[in-house]
Structure 1
Amino acid sequence: MAKMESTSVNRKADIISAAIEVFAEIGYFRATTAQVAERAQISQPYVFRFFSTKEALLLAALEVSWTRMLESFRQVVRTATSERLEKELIIAYEEILNSYHNETLLQMQAHTIREEQIREVMRNGYAEVRKMVRDAFQAAGFQDAEERTMLFLARGVLCNISLALEMPELKEK
């Protein structure tokens, strides 16, 4: 039975990964669960075994992307010195942008989707990142922790736009 559960977990992860790719490449609204199934090399009904709707699949994909980002930032907060904290958070985010390009594009699309559940996932993700960064900056003794947190978030959004539009000059200092 454990083997079957492991396979199901792996297939669910495969479906989410395929959804991230398909949604990022052609857009959530244009994408179909049939295209996700094809990318995951499974049947469309098998997608619905795990996700009752395309929106449920998008929610799962967004949760994966926020979890990855938060875990990356948590690692930095646990290990970085006060002097290196901000720089290490920036490096961690750049690594996410480089390694998980499609997740960034997916999150950017989610900003424009008006369904309340999607908006809630996005609000929660940003709120968690904001709190984690602000708390870390405060613990590190930054006098302007709130302002630096807002600048960190604003620069992150600008990096996302730079990535989506293929305009690296937006990130130049």
Structure 2
Amino acid sequence: MSAEERRESVIRAAIVEFARGGYSGTSTEAIAKRVGVSQPYLFRLFPNKQAMFLAAVERCLADTRKVFAEAAEGLQGEEAVRAMATAYQRLIVEDPDKLQMQMQTYAAVATAGASGDREFVDAARAAWLEMWDETHLALGADVKETTTFWAFGMLINTLTSFGFPAGHRVWSGFYDEARPIA
């Protein structure tokens, strides 16, 4: 396996481990074990744990952007919104580590921001902003539509993270006569 292939396997393993344990609760030893390499080898691929976490953040958000882009391709307006929402729901059901990694990202950014680690916050923010910008364009560069899409998306993240089943009353606001949101 080439160094680039090994780096890719480390990023995939880091997403799983950080999704489940968070930044502080995940050891580089756990990532190395999941990949099947030594811990020192990880540091030949990444300078430190934070760089591994940021690579995992960037990959997770890039994968999510790809899901949105593929779903919205050739669609506009309401059709694009529904396709993107459906694709996202499928993503977080089929690969729950993607949602958990997002949630761990928000927690790590809040902690880093509180401690004054602007470099970390700025890097994570830039990755998330790419996702915002791409969905904004897919939704016709309509600020209200993009904001609504992301507001519902963040609520979906929260409800899913809490484990509320689809039929629970907290999901009832996702439907109206004209527009099923979820």
**TM-score with structure 1 setting the length:** 0.83
Could you report, residue by residue, the CA deviation over 1:17-46 in whole angstroms, capped at 9, with x for unpaired residues? 111111122221021111111111111111
**Superposition RMSD on alpha carbons, in Å?**
2.0
Structure 1 residue aligned with 2:104: 109
Q: How big is the shift at 1:129?
A: 2.6
Q: Which residue of 2 aligns with 1:128?
A: 130
Deviation string, structure 1 residues 104-126 (Cα, Å, up to 9, x no partner): 21221221221333322332233
Q: Tell me the residue number matched to 1:77.
A: 72
For residues 128 and 17 of structure 1, the distance between their equivalents in structure 2, rounded to whole angstroms, comes to 20
Is the CA contact 1:158–1:171 (under 8 Å) kept in the aligned structure 2?
A: no
Given that residues 70 and 129 in structure 1 are in contact (C-alpha distance below 8 angstroms), is that contact kept between their aligned partners in structure 2? yes
Counterpart position of 1:158? 155
Deviation at 1:11, TM superposition (A): 1.3
Q: Does 1:149 align with 2:146?
A: yes
Residue type of the partner of 1:99?
E
Identity %: 26
3-state DSSP of counterpart to 1:27: helix
- Distance, in Å, in 1 between the alignment partners of 2:140 and 2:26 is 42
Displacement of 1:89: 0.9
1:89 maps onto 2:67 in alignment? no
User: TM-score when scaled to structure 2?
Assistant: 0.79
> CA separation in 2, counterparts of 1:100 and 1:146?
29
Structure 2: gaps (5+ residues): 175-182
3-state secondary structure, aligned to 2:18: helix
Distance 1:110 1:55, change over 3 A: same
Greater relative CO, 1 or 2 (CA 8 Å, sep 6+): 2
Aligned position for 1:32: 27
Structure 1 counterpart of 2:180? none
Distance in 1 between the 2:43 and 2:133 partners?
Answer: 35
1:7-86 alignment, distance < 5 Å: 7-86=2-81
Relative distance call for 1:126 and 1:171 in structure 2 (3 A) is: farther
- Check whether the contact 1:73–1:89 (CA below 8 A) recurs between aligned residues: yes
Deviation at 1:82, TM superposition (A): 4.3
